[in-house]
Each structure stands twice: as C-alpha cells, then as structure tokens.
Amino acid sequence: MADFTSNFWNWFIIIGVVGGIVAMFWLNIWQSERRRSAEEKAKPMGHVWDENLQELNNPLPRWWLNLFYLTLVFSIVYLILYPGLGTFAGALGWTQVGQYDREIAAAKKQFDPLYEKYLKEDLKTLATNKEAIKTGERLFVNYCTTCHGSDARGAKGFPNLRDSDWLYGGEPETIKASIMNGRQGVMPAWGAALGSEGVFQVSEYVLSLSGRRVNEEAALAGKEKFKQLCVACHGADGRGNHQLGAPNLTDDIWLYGGSQKSVMETIEKGRSGRMPAHNEFLGEAKSHLLAAYVYSLSRSFDPERERR
C-alpha cells in the first residue's frame, strides 16, 4: 500500500469504508424489522403504472436480505485479509508487486530453460535453426514491433531490419550488443553554422552521393562545407562509421526520409535516436535468440523484391 502524504487520508478511507459497511448492516436490519403482521394489509405507495398496476409497501424477501448479509460478511473478511483500509496491509500481506514477482519467477522457471538451450549456440548457426527463429519471432512481436513494425521494416526514425544497411554493423554479435546495451545516436544541428543557403548546398551534395540528380554548382559548394563539418562522422567518402552509428550516405537508404526537405531538416535541426537497452529486462538468453532472428531477416534480404 502506498504511503499517503497525510495521515488524514488514511483515516478518511478507513472511516468511509467501515461506516459504509455499518450503514448497510443497519439498513438490512431496518428492512427486516419492517415486516407487518399477517392481518395487516399492504399499502399503496402512490406509484401506478398501466392504469391499475400499483407499487405496495411489501417488505423485501428474507432470502434477498440474507444475500445482502452474505456480501457484507464477505467484504469484512476480504478487508481483514487484503489491503483496503488505508495503509493496513491485510493479514496475508498481499501486494500487487509481490504477486507480480511471484508470477515472473514462476514464468522464468517454466520458460527460461527453453531459451537457455540456445545460448551456447553460435548466432550464425542459430539463425538457420527454424525452431529457434520461430521462438525469436515471437519475442520480436512482443518486444520490438512498437518501433520496428510487425514486419521489421521500421518507420521514420526506426531502422528497417530486413535490409543490408546497418548503422552499427550487421554482424550478429554487434546486433546482440545493440539489443542488450542499447544505442544512442546523435546528429548535431548545423543550421546556425551553415545558414539556410549552406544547408541547401550540403543537402544537394549529400543527395548527389547516392546518385540523385542535383544542382551541380550547389553540390560543389556543399562538398566543401561537408569536408569541414561532416567527414568526422560520415567519412570523406560519405560511407559512414559503424563505431559512431553514422549512416552511409551513398546507398540511398534514409532513416528519416530521403526527400530534399527531410535531408535539409536533418542537417539544419539535427536528429537524436535512442535504442533502449534490453539486457536487464530480457536477459542474455532472450537477447541472444532475438539477435539470431534479426540477423536472419537481413540474410534473407532480396534487393529486387524490396524495390518491387
């Protein structure tokens, strides 16, 4: 039971709950005592429907009142055993956190051996194990689809895991490290340093790296600015850097969109992407299986099918 900021609320709940139960007992007793004698006739209450259908002051049936008593007794027993009266924890000491921990412990005992058996297997070999991949797919659906989509093709700002383009490298151990430890990618904003014209020029040069048709004069000016500001992360040839998570700018694959507007927005305002660490949440065995599944997706990548 959470602590209250004031003891007033503790007693506010106790008095309200106990007072309500006492009031319900009194109401039941009062209704039980209102039984008339056999000679006394029922009196109309003044409510009439369909011309002659009247409401009479008949007492509640005894069985109905006894059901009310049973519910009140149940509520008292419940409040003795479980939390419900302010900060009183209940005789059983039950908490939702404790129940959650017990359920998690039971689930781990039952299911962890299913994942542990794959942990010692090489990731490249595991990626060809159909049974393991089916299990890895279920893990992916439960934990990864919010960002990467149910088909693993990602969305704006979330990488496509089915292609052969990797920010931090596509080796299975690297993928596992990304899942377990997370990633933090930052693209600094260059709008203030470049100005609007400079942003346009650099965007023209960046687009030219992937074979797009651009303004040659603007791209040439943008190349000089690229050398000054961008090569530290993306390299002189624009092919990126897996150590920094800097994307390859020559492959026409874009994390935030490849339109000129999107590229200019990225250069001007910067980007910040975060892949959360899953080690503490999933553990190594599940992360190992997930890495094998993600690796298998890129192994089956067909560029021609993707273009269609």
Report the 3 state secondary structure along the chain.
CCCCCCHHHHHHHHHHHHHHHHHHHHHHHHHHHCCCCCCCCCCEEEEEECCCEEEECCCCCHHHHHHHHHHHHHHHHHHHHCCCCCCCCCCCCCCHHHHHHHHHHHHHHHHHHHHHHHHCCCHHHHCCCHHHHHHHHHHHHHHCHHHHCCCCCCECCECCCCCCCCCCCCCHHHHHHHHHHCEEEEECCCHHHHHHHHHHHHHHHHHHHCCCCCCHHHHHHHHHHHHHHCHHHHCCCCCCECCCCECCCCCCCCCCCCCHHHHHHHHHHCEEEEECCCHHHHHHHHHHHHHHHHHHHHHCCCHHHHHC
- The pLDDT tens digits for 175-224 are 999 999 999 999 999 999 999 999 999 999 999 999 999 999 999 999 99
Q: How far from each other are the two terminal CA atoms of the chain, in whole angstroms?
A: 57
39 pLDDT band (50/70/90 cuts)? low
Q: What's the pLDDT tens digit per position in 43-88?
A: 788 888 888 888 887 777 888 889 999 999 999 999 999 999 988 8
Closest among 220, 222, 247, 221 to 233, alpha carbons compared = 247
Q: Residue 52: its pLDDT value, please?
A: 81
Per-residue pLDDT tens digits for 245-273: 999 999 999 999 999 999 999 999 999 99
Contact at 8 Å (CB) between 202 and 230? Answer: yes
289 close to 139: Cβ distance less than 8 angstroms: yes
Mean pLDDT of 22-31: 89
Q: Check residue 5 and give its pLDDT.
A: 72
| CA–CA distance, 72 with 75 (Å, rounded to integer) | 5
Residue 49: how many other CB atoms lie within 10 Å? 8
In this prediction, residues 123-136 reach a mean pLDDT of 94
Mean of pLDDT values over 296-305: 64
- CA 171 distance to own-chain centroid: 27
Is it the case that residue 306 has pLDDT exceeding 60?
no
- Residue 102 confidence class, pLDDT cut points 50, 70, 90: very high
Backbone angles phi, psi at 41, to 5 degrees: -90, 150
pLDDT at residue 4, rounded to an integer: 65
How many C-beta atoms lie closer than 10 Å to residue 42's C-beta? 12
Report the alpha-carbon distance of residue 165 to residue 258 in Å, rounded. 15
* 276 and 196 Cβ atoms separated by less than 8 Å: no
Counting every residue written for the chain, the total comes to 308
* pLDDT confidence band for 300 (50 / 70 / 90): low
**pLDDT class of 308 with cuts at 50, 70, 90:** very low
Residue 55 pLDDT? 84
Q: How far is Cα 191 from Cα 269, in angstroms, rounded to an integer?
A: 6
Mean pLDDT across the stretch 144-149? 95
State pTM to two decimals: 0.71
Identify the pLDDT of residue 37: 56
Residue range 283-295, pLDDT digits in tens: 999 999 999 999 9
| pLDDT of 41 above 90 | no
Q: How many CB atoms lie within 10 A of CB 287?
A: 24
% the chain with pLDDT above 70: 93
Output the average pLDDT for the chain.
90
